[in-house]
Amino acid sequence: RKEVEQDPGPFNVPEGATVAFNCTYSNSASQSFFWYRQDCRKEPKLLMSVYSSGNEDGRFTAQLNRASQYISLLIRDSKLSDSATYLCVVNSPGTGRRALTFGSGTRLQVQP
C-alpha cells in the first residue's frame, strides 16, 4: 500500500465550479500535512499547510481527519489558472520527520 494515495484524475471542471480532492495516508504517526501545486514541467510549490482544525486561504480550504487518516482540499470559484496537479504531502516519521512523502498527484483542468 502506498503511504499517500490520491485519485490521479483528471478532474475537468468549468470555471466557477467548486472542486474537492481527497487524499489518504497510511502512517498514523505522520504529524505534518501539506498541499503542493505543480504546473506542467515545473517544480512543486507549497500551496498551503493543513492544520488539525482546518484552514482556509482565499478560495482554498484544507481539512484534516486524523481518525480516518485523510486530507482534503476544496477549491471554490475555480479559475483557469488553477489548472495544475495538486500533490498531497505528509511528513515521513521514519526519517525523523525531516523528509516529506508525496502522493502521485491529482490533475485538475479548469475549462472556460
Partner 1 sequence: DVKVTQSSRYLVKRTGEKVFLECVQDMDHENMFWYRQDPGLGLRLIYFSYDVKMKEKGDIPEGYSVSREKKERFSLILESASTNQTSMYLCASRTTGGAGYTFGSGTRLTIV
Residues near partner 1, by CB under 8 A: 8, 34, 36, 42-46, 49, 87, 89, 92, 95-96, 98-105
Question: Which is nearer to partner 1, 17 or 55 (by Cβ)?
Answer: 55
In 1-112, alpha helices (H): none
DSSP-assigned letter for residue 94: G
Task: Please give the grid coordinates belonging to residue 109.
Answer: 483542468
Query: What minimum distance in Å lies between the beta carbon of 105 and partner 1?
Result: 6
**Separation of alpha carbons 75 and 60, rounded Å:** 5
Single-letter residue type at 101: T
Q: Shortest Cβ distance from residue 15 to partner 1 (Å)?
A: 27
CB of 24 to partner 1, least distance (A): 14
